[in-house]
Amino acid sequence: MFCMKTAYEYRAYPSKEQKRTLNRQMYLSKELYNLLLEKLQYKAESAGCVAMKVDPQYTSMTCSKCGNVQSMSISQRIFVCEKCGMSMDRDVNAARNILKRALDYIIPTTEGHSGSQACRDDIRTSAGEAVAYEAGTIWVAS
């Protein structure tokens, strides 16, 4: 590795061996991730569950109760909604939003009523799951 001074900062350039090692490690990490996804899909199917990919973008910045999107720094661990005042751990909030996105895909909502399930309290999905919506909270029982 060698360093070169530019007008603004130093920049490190890896050697050919370091590039080869880095490329190999990136390839292996992608392969391991794909194997993990395959195993997860297999285990879900064998347990009679559904595994699906959900876009995680903005899930930790969106209120899982009212849907308000607000900016947050990475160091903030507690999500406090500026609109409705709901407060919870940002990871739990993101997990609830991911679940909502998955359920919105599985159970299509009425147009214009995103996430409301057209005011129904109990909805049956495939494999006899009951999904109940109560005050912004999703309960899934199988």
Over residues 53-78, the pLDDT tens digits come to 888 899 999 999 999 999 999 899 99
Question: pLDDT per residue over 112-141, tens digit each?
Answer: 555 544 444 444 444 444 444 433 444 444
Q: Is residue 106 part of a domain?
A: yes
pTM exceeds 0.85 for this model: no
Q: What is the DSSP string of 59-95?
A: TTTB-TTT--B----TT--EEE-TTT--EEEHHHHHH
pLDDT for 80 equals 94
Calculate the CA 131 to chain-centre distance. 20
For 95, the domain range is 78-141
Of residues 37 and 107, the one with the higher pLDDT is 37
Q: Within a 10 A sphere around the Cβ of 70, how many other Cβ atoms?
A: 13
In a shared domain, residues 85 and 128: yes
* Residue pair 132/119 in contact by the 8 Å Cβ criterion: no
Distance, first Cα to last Cα, the chain: 56
pLDDT for 141 equals 44
pLDDT for 8 equals 63
Q: Is residue 62 part of a domain?
A: no
Tally of structural domains, the chain: 2
pLDDT for 54 equals 86
Q: Is residue 5 part of a domain?
A: no
Helix (H) or strand (E) holding 33: helix 16-46
Helix (H) or strand (E) holding 31: helix 16-46
Q: Is residue 31 part of a domain?
A: yes
Q: Is residue 65 part of a domain?
A: no
In a shared domain, residues 93 and 135: yes
Q: Assign residue 88 a region (left: φ > 0; alpha: ψ between -120 and 50; beta: otherwise).
A: beta
In a shared domain, residues 37 and 90: no
